Amino acid sequence: MKKIIALLMALMMLGAVVALAEETPSWMPTWDRDADVVVVGFGPAGAMAARAAYENGVSTLIVEKANKEFAGGSAPTSMGFIKPYSVEEIFDSAQGRLTKEEAQRLYDTENEQLDWMVANGLKITNSTSEGYGRGFYDVVVKAIEGMGIEVLYETPAVQLIADPITSEVYGVKCQQADGSDLYVRANKGVVLATGGYAANKDLMTRFHFADMIDYALAGASTQTGDGLLMAAKIGAGLDGVSNQQIEWYGYSYKTATDEMGTAILHMGPSLGPDSRIFVNTKGERFMDEEMYIVHSKCEMPFLAYDGTFPVYNGYFNLPMYVIFDQAMLDAGPVGPRDYWCGFASMYNVYNWSEDNQAEVERGWIVKADTIDELVEKLAAQSGNAPIDAENLKKTIAAYNEGCANGTDAFGRSEFYLDPIGDGPYYAAQILPTIVYTIGGLQGGPNGETLDWEGNPIPRLYHAGDVGQPTKILIQALQGALATGRIAGEACSQLESH
């Protein structure tokens, strides 16, 4: 009898071991933490996803790449401009990606989230958040902290843990500040809310530029497309990664930007003469310098490209330079002073001097009495081939003649046609500057992340700039709030696995 019992027990133990082996596939890690809804990224999209989970009574955990001071990605660097759009505008701008009902739901959800933000202390005056993007994001942080939702700062997600056959997502692998791994199981699912990829020069080049170009980024350096890359690794499809889903911002001083590690904008004076032109290495103008490119998604003259064999010379207007005169320098700061947008201003990285002298002394702007000297100094500063000085003289003369006649070869408005005076001259290499990207992961109406065939990847959702599921082209903060809410809502309704 004893032998039979021992045999039965041995068989039971063997069965348990076999069952355990079946239940724990080799790719499944030992989990360190778990939550029903795991949110990756603590911007406005991630915050609203976590809030939805919390309000649905399921557990949630946010993992955030940056430390507390620099968390929030684009949001705290933004201007906090809020402009609610109509249902029709949302529908139209989605370019067939939304039904009328989905546009209505997005509109309603945006308004609910904004009302909630206002109830939590957000003040909006003239469509602008009090405290700009920092003020907007502070409200998000305080409200989420007030709910007791846990945020693990300095814990970037580096990999989605998914079934290699079905792609069903089980959790995320994160890296902790001390370099160790943290495996977080998601009982219901994962919401990726990591923001855009504008800081990832490799992705920007692959998606948007025929050749690598030097550009500056107005937002945060955390925007490296991590969510997009993690999801792509398990089969997510992409959508809207065309030139029409990156937004331009303006131009930045290259030397200053390189030195400060973030975009230091070039600005024309708000008052006073606009005696400046942009030129390429040939010393030729190529655009209306006053063309408003902030938030523009259009083709840009500085990206004009020649790929004709055997002429091929790529982006023939890059590198580009600004040339201006003493009158413009004297008229006021030609960089951001007491400004309210962009990483450099919102994090007090640099405040431009009132009279531009500090920047001339730092060598961010080159000064010279003659065009020949200017061209020489500019080449020494930039390390580029010198601008053709004779052509530049002709270009300035032609531009000045146009100013006298009230006409311009590039259609610049007469209001801005101020002639460039005799020396001293000022100049700098300037970089095209990007605000953010909004395309990325392909999404369904509930924030489901879709594969290339349009099938949802089980238990994977995303929201915000990692790929606004609806590709709304005309709104960002509200879109992030609303898509975060929708994705968090859908994810928290799932049965746990």
Ligand X SMILES: Cc1cc2nc3c(=O)[nH]c(=O)nc-3n(C[C@H](O)[C@H](O)[C@H](O)COP(=O)(O)OP(=O)(O)OC[C@H]3O[C@@H](n4cnc5c(N)ncnc54)[C@H](O)[C@@H]3O)c2cc1C
Nearest CA-CA partner of 325 in 274, 289, 380: 274
| Window 442-471: residues binding ligand X (CB under 6 A) | 464-465
CA 490 vs. chain centroid, Å, equals 25
Q: Cα separation of 180 and 154, whole Å? A: 12
Q: Cα separation of 160 and 380, whole Å? A: 47
C-beta closer to ligand X: residue 43 or 135: 43
Among 46, 443, 447, 469, binds ligand X (CB under 6 A): 46
Per-residue buried b or exposed e for 176-192, using 16+ beta carbons within 10 Å of the residue's own CB: eeeeeebbbbbbbbbbb
| Window 322-381: residues binding ligand X (CB under 6 A) | 341-342
Among 35, 36, 37, 43, binds ligand X (CB under 6 A): 43
Among 36, 49, 51, 64, binds ligand X (CB under 6 A): 64
Region binding ligand X by CB under 6 A among candidate stretches 15-23, 59-67, 108-116, 361-369? 59-67
Residue 408 in the binding site for ligand X (CB under 6 A): no
Q: Cα separation of 412 and 408, whole Å? A: 6
290: exposed, middle or buried (C-beta count within 10 Å: 0-12, 13-18, 19+)?
A: middle
* Structure token pair of residue 243: 């030139």
Among 40, 161, 487, 491, binds ligand X (CB under 6 A): 40
For 394, residues 6+ apart whose C-beta sits below 8 A from its C-beta are 283
Residue 485 in the binding site for ligand X (CB under 6 A): no
Give least dist CB 280 to ligand X, A: 27
Contact assessment for residue 31 and residue 8, using Cβ atoms and an 8 Å cutoff: no
Contact assessment for residue 319 and residue 281, using Cβ atoms and an 8 Å cutoff: yes
Residue 75 in the binding site for ligand X (CB under 6 A): yes
Region binding ligand X by CB under 6 A among candidate stretches 1-9, 143-151, 188-196, 400-408? 188-196
C-beta closer to ligand X: residue 273 or 488: 488
Among 60, 74, 275, 449, binds ligand X (CB under 6 A): 74
Region binding ligand X by CB under 6 A among candidate stretches 11-19, 35-43, 52-60, 441-449? 35-43
C-beta closer to ligand X: residue 82 or 403: 82
Among 36, 42, 448, 467, binds ligand X (CB under 6 A): 42
Three-class SS state of 294: coil
Give least dist CB 171 to ligand X, A: 13
Residue 226 in the binding site for ligand X (CB under 6 A): yes
Give least dist CB 466 to ligand X, A: 6
DSSP 306: E
Cα distances (Å, whole numbers) of residue 240 to 235, 250, 293, 439, 440: 17, 22, 20, 4, 6
Give me the residues that bind ligand X (CB under 6 A), please.
40-46, 63-66, 71-75, 77-81, 156-157, 193-195, 218-219, 222-223, 226, 341-342, 435-436, 464-465, 475-477, 480
